[in-house]
């Protein structure tokens, strides 16, 4: 199960919106406007919430002059949802991954949800709905929804959807990683979903990118642990692998977010190739490298049984 990703407060846009009904998730490219009162709040990287639905029985905040209409509660669901729209103002098709936070009136996050909107063409707007689902036991009432973070990558380089096999026959994606005492580790996973054997020998090829998808300078990529931490498996030597259809390989990224003298470096995107000549996949591990200036990469290996 994937872990909740850390939030970037600088990108959070808190919206308390007037709503008057539930919005059904729109199909990509749908032209019908979202239900509820229109909102003029600015978007976050092309994403904005257009309305919020709060069910009957949920307290209605009034301290700041806004109110939320109470709708009947659907069976087996909180009934809390937010309609949103994604607008691509760029010049190429992009795939968006959006982190929505469901919060109390005081801003405390009770739950969050990732939504992926694929292949939004240049100048296009896609609409959809994110739902809270069933709140955690003992959670405080949710009265607000905010866009906490938006990442967007070229649609041709986006990690494939679960169960989808790209034309290359190789699925490459990251997990949400682990963190302890300033040490960060994110797994790189490769699956042979094709019909032929796939050979690997060595390390994945990495290109570090900033928020504008331009190359990041000043970071040293090292094979193995690079002295960052021992006992992590990163210093295991590279060995040739042959993955039969259905088999997988594992690599990983490791760094410390120590901040001392100098300028801290943040890398939101990493363009990954499984090997020289392979199709690129752009992932979003959000590398907060601090001032260390070093990123370790592990050789491809078979995952533990």
Q: For 203-251, what is each residue's pLDDT tens digit? A: 999 999 999 899 998 899 999 999 998 888 999 999 999 999 999 999 9
Q: How does DSSP classify residue 155?
A: G
Secondary-structure percent of the chain, ordered helix, strand, coil, rounded to 5: 0, 40, 55
Residues 6+ away with beta carbon under 8 Å from 55: 70, 71, 72, 73, 74, 78, 79, 80
Residue 114's H or E segment, with its range, is strand 109-120
pLDDT of residue 236: 94
pLDDT of residue 301: 96
Average pLDDT over residues 1-6: 38
pLDDT of residue 283 exceeding 90: yes
More reliable by pLDDT, 234 or 10: 234
The pTM assigned to this predicted structure is 0.76
* Three-state SS at 157: helix
- In order of 42, 104, 203, 261, the CA distances from 221 in angstroms are 38, 42, 11, 20
Residue in 285, 252, 260, 258 with CA at minimum distance from that of residue 270? 285
**Structure tokens, 231:** 């006992």
Helix residue ranges per DSSP H, 166-252: none
Mean pLDDT of the chain: 81
């Amino acid at each position: 199960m994937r872990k909740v990703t850390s939030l970037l407060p600088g990108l959070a846009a808190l919206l308390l919106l007037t709503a008057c009904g539930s919005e059904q998730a729109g199909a990509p490219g749908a032209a019908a406007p979202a239900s509820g009162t229109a909102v003029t709040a600015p978007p976050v990287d092309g994403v904005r919430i257009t309305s919020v639905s709060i069910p009957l029985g949920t307290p209605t905040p009034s301290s700041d002059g806004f109110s939320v209409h109470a709708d009947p509660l659907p069976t087996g669901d909180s009934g809390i949802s937010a309609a949103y729209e994604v607008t691509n103002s760029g010049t190429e098709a992009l795939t968006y991954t959006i982190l929505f936070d469901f919060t109390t009136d005081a801003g405390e996050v009770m739950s969050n949800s990732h939504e992926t909107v694929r292949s939004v063409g240049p100048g296009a707007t896609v609409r959809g709905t994110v739902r809270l689902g069933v709140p955690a036991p003992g959670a405080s009432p949710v009265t607000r929804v905010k866009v906490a973070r938006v990442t967007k990558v070229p649609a041709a380089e986006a990690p494939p959807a679960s169960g989808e096999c790209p034309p290359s026959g190789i699925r490459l994606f990251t997990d949400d990683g682990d963190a302890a005492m300033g040490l960060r580790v994110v797994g790189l996973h490769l699956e042979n979903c094709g019909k032929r054997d796939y050979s690997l020998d060595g390390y994945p090829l990495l290109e570090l990118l900033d928020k504008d998808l331009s190359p990041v300078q000043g970071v040293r990529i090292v094979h193995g642990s690079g002295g960052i931490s021992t006992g992590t498996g990163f210093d295991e030597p590279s060995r040739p692998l042959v993955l039969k259809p259905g088999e997988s390989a594992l690599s990983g990224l490791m760094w410390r977010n120590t901040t001392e003298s100098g300028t801290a470096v943040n890398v939101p995107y990493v363009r990954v190739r499984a090997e020289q000549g392979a199709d690129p996949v752009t992932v979003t591990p959000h590398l907060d490298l601090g001032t260390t200036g070093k990123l370790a990469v592990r050789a491809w290996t078979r995952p533990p049984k």
